[in-house]
Amino acid sequence: MNDRDDHLSWKNITSKRIRRCGIFDLFETRRQAQNGKEGVFHLLQAPDWVNVVPVLPDEQGRSCFLMVKQYRQGISAVTVEFPAGLIEAEETPPAAAERELFEETGYRSKILRAIGTIYPNPAFMTNRCYTFLAEDLVRDRLSEGSEGLDELELLDVLLVPIETLLAEIGRGPYCNSMTALALYWYERLNRDSGEKGADRIRTGV
């Protein structure tokens, strides 16, 4: 925050955790604005996330994303998303991205690059999401995929043509906001590098 924004800032007066909810903690925080106003805010303190954009051609040679299909409890519907998950304690974002990719798809990446970082919802969440591009994907022959999933996690792995996701994002099962954001990071990378997605895919199946 620069000096010109000081009048917008708030300072903590008290903060207490009022509930542990598994993947996040709920805090009740009292803060005071620069003009003296006070208010109570409920904040979700959660681990940081990773989002992985794996690129892989299908049997016809079409440029595709390697994605996962799963049921989302919040909307009671099946979605198609990029592999993603929580960063564990003492784990770096790249290490978490590699782990989530393997656990959810059975693939490992020879080239992993950070392509974007953002706060998912700074209004009441404290965490960040790191997005990585995964290239030169290699199937781990010892794994059938989905070997390291959480106890209640069920998913299928599928290839989605890049053109399909670009056309359908925001519709049907392609409704996850973090997937839309990861697609944006991917497209911005291609725009800035002057390359098309199909030209960037290198695999080692």
Enumerate domains of the chain plus CATH numbers: 3-45 (no CATH), 49-200 (3.90.79.10)
The residue-averaged pLDDT of 55-75 equals 93
Output the pLDDT for position 140. Answer: 84
Distance CA 127, CA 147 (A): 27
Band (pLDDT 50/70/90 cuts) for residue 155 is very high
Which residues have a Cβ under 8 Å from the Cβ of 172 and sit 6 or more positions away?
Answer: none
Q: Residues, the chain, total?
A: 205
pLDDT 10s digits, 85-143: 999 999 999 999 999 999 999 999 999 999 999 999 999 999 999 999 999 999 986 55
pTM: 0.86
Residue 125: count other Cβ atoms within 10 Å of its Cβ.
15
Output the CA angle 192-186-163, nearest 5 degrees: 110
Band (pLDDT 50/70/90 cuts) for residue 25 is very high
